[in-house]
Every structure is written in structure tokens, then in C-alpha cells.
Amino acid sequence: MRSLSAVAERLLLVGTAHVLELALPLERVLRTFDPDVVALELDRQRWASLRSPLRPRQGPLLLRLLASLQERLGEMLGAPPGSDMLAAGRTAQRLGARLALIDLPVGPTLRRAWRALGWRERLALAQELTPLLAGADLLTSGSATADNPVATGDFSRELAEFAYRFPSLQRELIDRRDRHMARQLVLLLQHNRQRVAAVVGEGHLAGLARRLARVSPQVVPLRRLLELGRQV
């Protein structure tokens, strides 16, 4: 295999939010980079589910809870869950780029995460999700205010709080997947000098950028996508 220095500046990392409408700025960023491969934060099961008109209601409890929460967020923010991944997939097709699904399988990942939860974290998770799924306001008042993450794309405070309150979920749902996706991206880069654009949730962006620092990736955070979206 080639050394990592040989693949410098051929990787683009794009941070998105799965329930925001980002199709136009995402396409603009991908077209500018002109990748050979568009890598998505998905596995085969989730990619098939996103492309299906019927969303399954089975699977691990944590998956069903997260899916319900994402649906409610999507209704409020104007984009169905996974719209960013579908937009990236459509853009890849228009550019003639190959799609790569680089995430761990969702079922085993969530089952492992659920088993790793201690009773304190399970109680905290129930307290967090119950009012949201019951219909509480998911957004802070005034979504256009300067410090609202929906407006700015800066979820650093929320991500830090998540890691503090749910260390087991952070380890299983973020850190473990970051390691796996980083390895998959290096393998893609080492194949025939391909240019690779990875579209991932904003929560994975910092971890991937840190693990792939030797590859010198270009990084487009969510806040930049939102800025581009306001310009079109």
C-alpha cells in the first residue's frame, strides 16, 4: 500500500445534519471537489431503508427511538431524515462518481450500544427522549438567533454535553464508528489515487478529521454548508 503522504489533499470531509435541507449547498461543494468516490455515513441496510418509500418499524429499541426523534425533527425543520445522504447520492450519480457505504452495520452497532448502557445512562436517556417523543418543542425559541445551533450549524456544546452524559453511547455510536469510517476512507484513498468526498453527520466530523490528519483532508463543516445555502 502507498504511504499516507501519497494521498494528501485528495480527501474532502463534509459535515451535515440528517434532518436539514442541504441539497443545494451539498451539491455545490461536491461539484467543486469533483470526487471519484462519494462515501456516505451509511451501511447497506440504512441506504436501502432511505431509498424505500416504506420505513420499517422494527429493530432494536434504540433504533426505533432515534428514528422517531429524527422524524419529528424532520417535520419541524422541513427535511425528512436522511435527506442529506439521499442528496449526496443523487449528486454522486450526476457526477458519475462511485458510491461507497463506509459505516458499521446499524443493527449490531445499536445492540452493542444498548448493552453498554449502565442503568444511570438508561435512566438519563429515558428522561431525555420521553418529553421529545411526547411532543415537546425540539428547538429552542427563535431558531434564527445567533447562538442557535440550527441556525449556526455549531453543535459543539450539544456534542460535548452528549459525551459527558452518555459516555457509553459516545464510545459505541461515535468513537467506534469514527475509527471504522477512517479506516474505510484510507483504503479508498489508497486505491488508484482516487479523490474521495465523505459526507457524514457533523458529530463525526471532528473525530474523522483528527484520525485522518496525516492525509490532510479538506473539511467543510455544517456551518459552512448553511452559509452556502443562504447564498443560493
pLDDT tens-digit map of 10-58: 999 999 987 678 899 999 999 999 999 999 999 998 898 888 765 555 5
**d(C-alpha 223, C-alpha 5), whole Å:** 29
Alpha-carbon gap, residue 225 to 62, rounded angstroms? 29
Residue 77: pLDDT band with limits 50, 70, 90? very low
CA distances from 6 to 2, 10, 42, 183, 191 (A): 6, 9, 27, 16, 11
> Which class for 123: exposed (0-12), middle (13-18), buried (19 or more C-beta within 10 A)?
exposed
Q: Report the distance separating Cα 110 and Cα 43, nearest Å.
A: 13
* Measured distance CA(213)–CA(38) in Å, rounded: 19
The tens digit of pLDDT for each residue in 118-158 reads: 888 888 877 776 665 555 444 444 444 456 666 677 778 88
Confidence of residue 196 (pLDDT cuts 50, 70, 90): very high
Q: Give the C-alpha separation, 61 to 217, whole Å.
A: 36
Query: For residue 68, how many C-alpha atoms fall within 13 Å in the half-sphere facing its CB?
Result: 16
Complete DSSP assignment for 142-161: -TTSTT-HHHH---HHHHHH
**Cβ burial, residue 127 (10 Å; 0-12/13-18/19+):** exposed
Give the pLDDT confidence of 176-188 residue by residue, as tens digits: 999 999 999 999 9
Q: Specify burial of residue 114 (Cβ count, 10 A radius: 0-12, 13-18, 19+).
A: middle
